Amino acid sequence: MLDTNEAYTTEDGRRIGEVVMEMKNITLRFGGVVAIKDISFDIREGEIRAIIGPNGAGKSSMLNVISGFYNPQQGEVWYKGKKRPQMKPYQVARQGIARTFQNIALFEGMTVLDNVMTGRFRQMNTSLWAQAIWKGPAEREEVANREAVEKIIDFLEIQHIRKTPVGRLPYGLKKRVELARALAAEPSILLLDEPMAGMNVEEKEDMSRFILDLNDEFGSTIALIEHDMGVVMDLSDRVVVMDYGKKIGDGTPDEVRKNQAVIDAYLGVAHD
Amino acid sequence: MAQSSEAAEGLASFPALLDRNVRDYGSRPAYREKEYGIWQCWTWAEAADEIEAVALGLLDLGVNEGDFIAIAGRNRPYFYWAMVAAQSVGAIPVPVYQDSAAEEMAYVMDHCGARFAIVEDQEQVDKIIDIQDSLTEFEHMIYVDPRGLRKYDHGKLHQFSKMQEEGRAAREKYASELEARRSKLTYNSTCVMLYTSGTTGKPKGVVLSNRNIIEASKSSSEFDNLRQTEEVLAYLPMAWVGDFIFSIGQAYWCAFCVNCPESADTMQTDLREIGPTYYFAPPRVFETQLTNVMIRMEDASAFKKKLFDHFMEHARKVGPDILDGKPVGGWDKFWYGVGQRCIYGPLKDTLGFSRVRVGYTAGEAIGPEIFEFYRSLGINLKQLYGQTEASVFITLQPDGEVRNDTVGVAAPGVELRIADSGEVFYRSPGTFEEYYKNPESTASTKDPEGWVATGDAGFFDETTGHLKIIDRAKDVGKMADGALFAPKYVENKLKFYPNILEAVVFGNDREECTAFINIDMSAVGNWAERNNIGYASYQELAGHPRILDTIKGHVEEVNRSLAEDPMLAHCQVHRFLVLHKELDADDGEMTRTRKVRRNVISDKFDDLLAALYDGSEEIFTTTEVTYEDGRKGAISATLKIIDADVVKTETQKVAAE
């Protein structure tokens, strides 16, 4: 079923659509270091796609290629059926790809609300002049954006810290605020770089629930990198496994779990 | 006052009161809820429309007269509407604690045989699905928040707003039926069934009629001169009789506005935004707020701290007298005025009490120091004494006659009597009808003449005529030498310290008193942070030697203060330990209204209790804990047992000789 390019419905009733993003033979080099070697995979609409692998496998580099932060030396990125030319990260963001960072990148001195509002940048169209005068179109636009942001705040249950400066928040909440900001952009693909790194079990459970609810309620397409195998296997529809910049497995969590190359990469093998 | 059998102006039920409110105050706000960062408002007319839609929807689902409808959720307008809608169709609302574990909920729903449940979200839906098989009569469930529920089987599961839509669509079909059912409601119809918190044994279903609730609401509203312009914040558990009386009983009688907070975590901000004029809270809430104020003052600069201490001392001296309108010297008045400007006013604003005209605390005895703190700020905080069986009100403190050691005079319409055993009895129009399916308990609590045993021991203060409650009759005991043992009194003294969240004092039939103590994580954690003490968990913090020293200091201070009171000098705490876990309702150690269950605690921690009395210096223990989702785990710890200095008193010497 997964080999066909057609939309289907999962057992639990979610609709998985057609391929929205396709990575074709991506190779990324930093000088002599080959971070990603000839990797191809795709992301379908409405699915949760995980990228896993041991430390230094090239997962974050892969995410950076998707978000336009790195431009690969070889290979093509196809997005919504079109080949994507070389782009700056902000141009990629405008296309509807939002992300969170492994080591949180929020405006520490600003409140949660203001941080999430910055995520609405793509939806703000009034000119600098109009915003300076504020009354009229800029005000209407801000009200509309605030409404959208408040819905996200409600969804992620961060009402109680709405007016708190981000710098004062604990790590787990900062991660949630970062997710809120990414969501505020109403992305067609949401990239999460280790959303659960450094969290305790309870925070991980909360975050997993938010990711599942997001996917379920809004049909968001999510690509995530994660270390915690338990979380990955529970959450994702399909998993790409990387090791030393190469793809060593791709498929449903069950398929990946049985894959000998994956087991070797994770558990290690004795050299003969 | 004799029991009135006739309702005034035909206002014999809440649907009837709703009609009156729509007629007289239709465009005034009835409900507000903060959602998406804004206070959303419903007028009485709009609320009535919503309630009608719910009622029609319930008819459409096949609710019969006399059915029980369980309601589980935090304070939101939808649930208040659901209660009145249930009454409109002749059903009986049964609010349930939304944080209760699945078994507790199963017990209540099975006991009343609920056919329907109206719940908040996925969490509650999951809980009921888990217990559904054991409930023979249960049929339909209605939820408010659809999040995460899209994939559930919707055969017998309905979304609140969709049910309302269907109700509106079927208006023509059911309108006459609804009208017929509403007109059948009388003063004798059951208004609500509330389960007691159950400090001892299984919860009991208290059946309250329209007469009970409306009479109690009416007389208490008149007592405090409540008007339609009052603002209240509804944040107490909906399953508690207090919330029912304030947010439905008095709110409908006076037609004032009920404000629902955005979430439990935003309560403090929402309180400040609303600035209620009428406020009600159990002592625990006041304790927590005081602790927060004290923590923040610890963090303030030395100058501010000094200013605060100076003015608070002045407030303690003259504040309560000024509030009661007693004569106070001009100079003192002047300085109080200055304090009002610099300290009291801003502090009240931060606490959200700027506009409070009438404030009540009840449910448990409040520590006198805590009570004085709020009164000295000029907040008209009063005590009332009540219980579910009385539709809350038994006694109330009138304005100007507030004292921290009494609970006031009999509420309007209430007769009081003290039995020879010291137990307080009352009779009132608010007295409950019966315990549901439990005639034995009904008979043993309420005699044929309508007198109800409160289970609390008390006496009338001779000078003022106010009622004084000593303790729960069951808790008051005798020590081995025959002296009076009143644990709650000592516990409240201990709990005054911000570092101490909860204390359980033992001493019944013993030579000396001992205590279990729970530290307050927020206060102690803050202190640890300021003193560079690292800790990874509650348990580690609770066992830290410096913290044990601090607590020891508190216990010894309490002992000194107890020694000054000849009646209670022998209740000084000789030995104590700091528990390795917080007492929790999920583990059955407290009721859902956060009262300690003494018997459960002394059984569960019998090894610790034994160690307190056998002279050992430390003890290793393992305790089972229940997580919020019902899973169980165990924690183990080695606890130090600490000897506190006690003050030698005359009586003790006599006893020793």
CB atoms within 10 A of CB B480: 13
Q: What is the pLDDT of residues B195-235, one digit of tens each?
A: 987 666 688 999 999 999 999 999 999 999 999 999 999 99
Which residues in B lie closer than 8 A to residue A157 (C-beta atoms)? 263
Give the amino acid at B65: E
Residue of B nearest to A113 (CA): B37
B262 vs A146, A159, A216: nearest CB: A159
Task: Please indicate whether, in this complex, the C-beta atoms of A159 and B265 are within 8 angstroms of each other.
Answer: yes
The upper half-sphere exposure of residue B319, i.e. CA atoms within 13 Å in the direction of its Cβ, equals 23
Nearest residue to B257 (alpha-carbon basis) of B94, B72, B92, B46: B46
CA distances from B101 to B81, B124, B264, B428, B588 (A): 25, 10, 18, 34, 10
Distance to chain B for A212, nearest Cα, Å: 9
What is the per-residue pLDDT for B2? 39
Q: Distance between the two ends of chain B, CA-based, in angstroms?
A: 55
Distance to chain B for A111, nearest Cα, Å: 14
Residue of B nearest to A212 (CA): B148
Q: Are A241 and A249 in contact (CB under 8 A)?
A: yes
Question: Does A213 contact chain B (CB < 8 Å)?
Answer: yes
Maximum C-alpha span of chain B: 86
Q: What topology is assigned to B26-185+230-276 in CATH? A: Rossmann fold (3.40.50)
Interface test with A, best of B34, B36, B39 (most A CBs within 10 A): B36
Distance to chain B for A211, nearest Cα, Å: 11
Task: Enter the CATH code of domain B281-472.
Answer: 3.40.50.12780
Which residues in B lie closer than 8 A to residue A217 (C-beta atoms)? 147-148, 150
Which residues in B lie closer than 8 A to residue A151 (C-beta atoms)? 36
Q: Are B276 and B86 in contact (CB under 8 A)?
A: no
Q: Which residues of B touch A (CB under 8 A)?
A: 35-38, 147-148, 150-151, 262-263, 265-266, 269
Residue of B nearest to A11 (CA): B151
What is the per-residue pLDDT for B25? 95
Look at residue B638 and tell me whether its pLDDT is greater than 80.
yes
Look at residue B3 and tell me whether its pLDDT is greater than 60.
no
Q: Are B395 and B410 in contact (CB under 8 A)?
A: yes
Handedness of CA B246, B248, B253, B258 (dihedral sign): positive
User: What does the alpha-carbon distance between residue B179 and residue A227 come to, in Å, rounded to a whole number?
Assistant: 61
Task: Please indicate whether, in this complex, the C-beta atoms of B36 and A154 are within 8 angstroms of each other.
Answer: yes
**Average pLDDT over every residue of B156-178:** 95
Which residues in A lie closer than 8 A to residue B37 (C-beta atoms)? 146, 150, 153, 159, 162
Residue A120: strand, helix, or coil: helix
Q: What does the block give as tokens for B219?
A: 């007389």
Write the CB contacts of B180 (distance below 8 Å, at least 6 apart in sequence).
none
A147 vs B36, B147, B262: nearest CB: B36
User: What does the alpha-carbon distance between residue B281 and residue B297 come to, in Å, rounded to a whole number?
Assistant: 23
User: What does the alpha-carbon distance between residue A164 and residue B638 come to, in Å, rounded to a whole number?
Assistant: 39
What is the per-residue pLDDT for B633? 84
Question: Does A15 contact chain B (CB < 8 Å)?
Answer: no
Task: Please indicate whether, in this complex, the C-beta atoms of A217 and B147 are within 8 angstroms of each other.
Answer: yes
Residue of B nearest to A211 (CA): B148
Bridge-based pairing state of the strands B29-35 and B38-43: antiparallel
What is the per-residue pLDDT for A2? 46
What is the per-residue pLDDT for B352? 92
User: What does the alpha-carbon distance between residue A186 and residue B560 come to, in Å, rounded to a whole number?
Assistant: 64
What is the per-residue pLDDT for A271? 61
Task: Please indicate whether, in this complex, the C-beta atoms of B36 and A150 are within 8 angstroms of each other.
Answer: yes
Which residues in B lie closer than 8 A to residue A155 (C-beta atoms)? 147
User: What does the alpha-carbon distance between residue A241 and residue B304 come to, in Å, rounded to a whole number?
Assistant: 59
Task: Please indicate whether, in this complex, the C-beta atoms of B151 and A151 are within 8 angstroms of each other.
Answer: no
Q: Are B402 and B324 in contact (CB under 8 A)?
A: yes
Question: Does A10 contact chain B (CB < 8 Å)?
Answer: no
User: What global pTM score does this model have?
Assistant: 0.83
Q: Which residue has the tokens 């409240």?
A: B492
Q: What is the pLDDT of residues B93-104, one digit of tens each?
A: 999 998 888 888
Residue of B nearest to A147 (CA): B36
What is the per-residue pLDDT for B9? 67
Residue contacts between A and B (CB atoms, under 8 Å): 35
What does the pLDDT profile of chain A (272 residues) look like in tens digits? 444 567 777 777 777 888 899 999 999 999 888 899 999 999 999 999 999 888 888 888 999 999 888 999 999 999 988 888 888 888 888 888 999 988 888 999 999 999 999 999 888 888 888 888 888 888 999 999 999 999 999 999 999 999 999 999 988 899 999 999 999 998 999 999 989 888 888 888 889 999 998 988 888 899 999 888 888 888 999 999 998 889 998 999 988 888 888 888 877 776 65
Residue B159 host element (H or E): strand B157-159
Residue spans per domain, chain B:
26-185+230-276, 281-472, 477-656
What is the per-residue pLDDT for B1? 39
Domain with CATH 3.40.50.300 in chain A: 1-96+189-272
Look at residue B585 and tell me whether its pLDDT is greater than 70.
yes
Handedness of CA B347, B352, B358, B361 (dihedral sign): negative
B37 vs A150, A209, A216: nearest CB: A150
Write the CB contacts of B609 (distance below 8 Å, at least 6 apart in sequence).
B506, B514, B602
Residue B139: strand, helix, or coil: coil
Q: Which residue has the higher pLDDT, B516 or A2?
A: B516
Distance to chain B for A115, nearest Cα, Å: 16
B37 vs A12, A162, A212: nearest CB: A162
A213 vs B35, B36, B148: nearest CB: B148
What is the per-residue pLDDT for B110? 93
Strand stretches in chain A, DSSP E: 8-9, 15-16, 19-30, 33-44, 48-52, 74-79, 82-83, 97-100, 189-193, 221-225, 238-243, 246-251
Average pLDDT score over chain B: 88
Residue B207 host element (H or E): strand B205-209
Residue B131 host element (H or E): helix B122-131
Write the CB contacts of B261 (distance below 8 Å, at least 6 apart in sequence).
B34, B75, B233, B234, B235, B267, B270, B271
Task: Enter the CATH code of domain B477-656.
Answer: 3.30.300.30
**Average pLDDT over every residue of B352-362:** 91
Q: Which residues pair with B260 in a beta bridge?
A: B33
Residue B508: strand, helix, or coil: coil
What is the per-residue pLDDT for B654? 42
Nearest residue to B451 (alpha-carbon basis) of B473, B419, B475, B476: B419
Which residues in A lie closer than 8 A to residue B35 (C-beta atoms)? 154
Task: Please indicate whether, in this complex, the C-beta atoms of B37 and A217 are within 8 angstroms of each other.
Answer: no
Question: What angle (nearest 5°) sits at the alpha carbon of residue A160, between those of residues A156 and A165?
Answer: 95
Question: Does A159 contact chain B (CB < 8 Å)?
Answer: yes
Which residues in A lie closer than 8 A to residue B38 (C-beta atoms)? 150
Residue B81: strand, helix, or coil: helix
Task: Please indicate whether, in this complex, the C-beta atoms of A151 and B36 are within 8 angstroms of each other.
Answer: yes
User: What does the alpha-carbon distance between residue A229 and residue A161 come to, in Å, rounded to a whole number?
Assistant: 31
Distance to chain B for A253, nearest Cα, Å: 22
Q: What does the block give as tokens for B513?
A: 């008193």
Nearest residue to B438 (alpha-carbon basis) of B624, B104, B201, B86: B201
A159 vs B148, B151, B263: nearest CB: B263
Q: What is the pLDDT of residues B376-424, one digit of tens each?
A: 998 999 999 988 899 999 999 998 888 877 889 999 999 999 888 778 9
User: What does the alpha-carbon distance between residue B592 and residue B589 come to, in Å, rounded to a whole number?
Assistant: 10
Question: Does A114 contact chain B (CB < 8 Å)?
Answer: no
Task: Enter the CATH code of domain A1-96+189-272.
Answer: 3.40.50.300
Nearest residue to B182 (alpha-carbon basis) of B72, B70, B59: B59
